[in-house]
């Protein structure tokens, strides 16, 4: 009996006859599982649009053209906001609260004196506590490092960006860094939840607790507590100065990075530079109820007069941020079409702006993306 069973087993294992194809498919074809929307999911969604300053109108205009070409179920409520305004107009805040989604170009922030950052006002007013920047290699875009796929998740509402500064006496200014248990814990939760939902394997906390023992120590303590609830995700810590060195030396070692406010800005811009520049890195800011999507890394998001005059701003970052926005709105097919079209244009290499080694205008890149839409 045992010999008969062994003989049967050998015949089954050694058989070269392939299994029959799935019904309705050719040999070797694989059935894919479709996205099943809820009734009413195709209803067009209103998006608050802030073109912003500098190159903002160019790149947001590119997004509008691509959305229209795809017949995406979105429409825009456009507001004229500029970085030199004393505050974000109440009508804009109300529009974002109503629509829950905003797409924005860069808003110029005065250096030194002048008005406070409108970007910070938006984040605090809407409690957009998590900033997410996705830095990864793009096929066809040569870079020094390969296999880079980093997501930088940054606390967005406190730290050095709290805006608590005053002149103690003439010539002496005090700037307060505020770190709270509540904000540190919720950004850590968001980072680990993101890693869990996106099948990421590791979360790295970036800090300077060797010097700022209480403030960054509290941030690390919060990260460790949250990490203990996700045993399937590897957790480690790195001091911010070593982190910057490791980023430019061996960036492929990083996966998800969670940081306090200031460090996250530095790390995200560094990571973006490693994989092609800020012109191709998408990102967004999210809170419990609202989300604002924009170019992922802040460096160069307003551009310069030469780029604006010749209309050669790179729209790729904001187009990819718009794909993130479409996924956030549960329009996955439209998001996939947009992302695939952008990556085809980058891989093809015929239409690239100056920052990617080409000479194309914003409109030429936009037209190429539209031509590559499925």
Residue-wise pLDDT tens for the chain (374 aa)? 444 444 444 443 344 444 444 444 444 445 577 888 889 888 999 999 999 999 999 999 999 999 999 999 999 999 999 988 999 999 999 999 999 999 999 998 877 665 678 998 999 999 999 999 999 999 999 999 999 999 999 999 999 887 788 889 999 999 889 999 999 999 999 999 999 999 999 999 999 999 999 999 999 999 999 999 999 999 999 999 999 999 999 999 999 999 999 999 999 999 999 999 989 999 999 999 999 999 987 766 777 888 988 999 999 999 999 999 999 999 999 999 999 999 999 999 999 999 999 999 999 999 999 999 98
User: Using the 8-state DSSP alphabet, how is residue 125 labeled?
Assistant: H
């070692």: which residue's tokens? Answer: 253
pLDDT digits (tens, 9 = 90+) for 156-183: 999 988 778 888 999 999 988 999 999 9
DSSP letter for each residue of 289-330? S-EEEEESS-TTSS--HHHHHHT----HHHHHHHHHHHHHTT
Q: Which residues pair with 172 in a beta bridge?
A: 169
Please give the span between the terminal C-alpha atoms of the chain, in angstroms, as a whole number.
Answer: 59
Predicted TM-score (pTM) above 0.75? yes
Measuring CA to CA, which residue among 298, 297, 317, 295 is closest to residue 362?
317
Q: Name the token pair of 304.
A: 């310069």
**How many Å apart are CA 44 and CA 67, to the nearest integer?**
12
pLDDT of residue 115: 62
Six token digits for residue 346: 């980058």
Per the rule left: phi > 0, alpha: psi between -120 and 50, beta: everything else, 179 is beta
- 137 near 148, Cβ under 8 Å? yes
* Residues 368, 169: Cα–Cα separation, whole Å: 58
């Amino acid at each position: 009996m045992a010999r008969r069973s062994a003989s049967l087993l050998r015949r089954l294992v050694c058989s070269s006859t392939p299994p029959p194809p799935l019904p309705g498919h050719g040999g070797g074809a694989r059935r894919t599982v479709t996205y099943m929307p809820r009734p009413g999911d195709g209803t067009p969604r209103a998006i608050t649009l802030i073109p912003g300053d500098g190159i903002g109108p160019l790149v947001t205009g590119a997004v509008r053209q691509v959305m229209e070409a795809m017949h995406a179920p979105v429409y825009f409520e456009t507001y004229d906001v500029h970085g030199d305004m004393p505050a974000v107009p109440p009508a804009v805040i109300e529009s974002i609260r109503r629509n829950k989604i905003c797409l924005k170009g860069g808003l110029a922030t005065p250096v030194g004196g002048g008005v406070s950052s409108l970007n910070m006002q938006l984040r605090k007013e809407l409690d957009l506590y998590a900033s997410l920047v996705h830095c990864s290699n793009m096929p066809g875009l040569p870079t020094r490092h390969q296999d880079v796929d980093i997501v930088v998740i940054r606390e967005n509402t406190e730290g050095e960006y709290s805006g608590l500064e005053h002149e103690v006496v003439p010539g002496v200014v005090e700037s307060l860094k505020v770190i709270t248990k509540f904000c540190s814990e919720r950004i850590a939760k968001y980072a680990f939840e993101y890693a869990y939902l996106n099948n990421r394997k590791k979360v790295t906390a970036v800090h300077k607790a060797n010097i700022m023992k209480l403030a960054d120590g509290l941030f690390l303590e919060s990260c460790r507590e949250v990490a203990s609830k996700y045993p399937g995700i590897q957790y480690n810590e790195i001091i911010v100065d070593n982190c910057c060195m490791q980023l430019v030396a061996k960036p492929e070692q990083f996966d998800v990075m969670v940081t306090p406010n200031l460090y996250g800005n530095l790390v995200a811009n560094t990571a973006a530079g490693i994989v092609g520049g800020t012109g191709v890195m998408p990102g967004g800011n999210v809170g419990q109820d609202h989300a604002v999507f924009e170019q992922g890394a802040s460096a160069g998001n307003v551009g310069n007069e030469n780029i604006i005059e010749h209309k050669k701003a790179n729209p790729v970052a904001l187009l990819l941020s718009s794909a993130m926005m479409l996924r956030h709105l549960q329009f996955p097919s439209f998001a996939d079409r947009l992302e695939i079209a952008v990556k085809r244009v980058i891989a093809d290499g015929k239409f690239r702006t100056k920052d990617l080694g080409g000479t194309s205008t914003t409109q030429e890149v936009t037209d190429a993306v539209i031509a590559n839409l499925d």
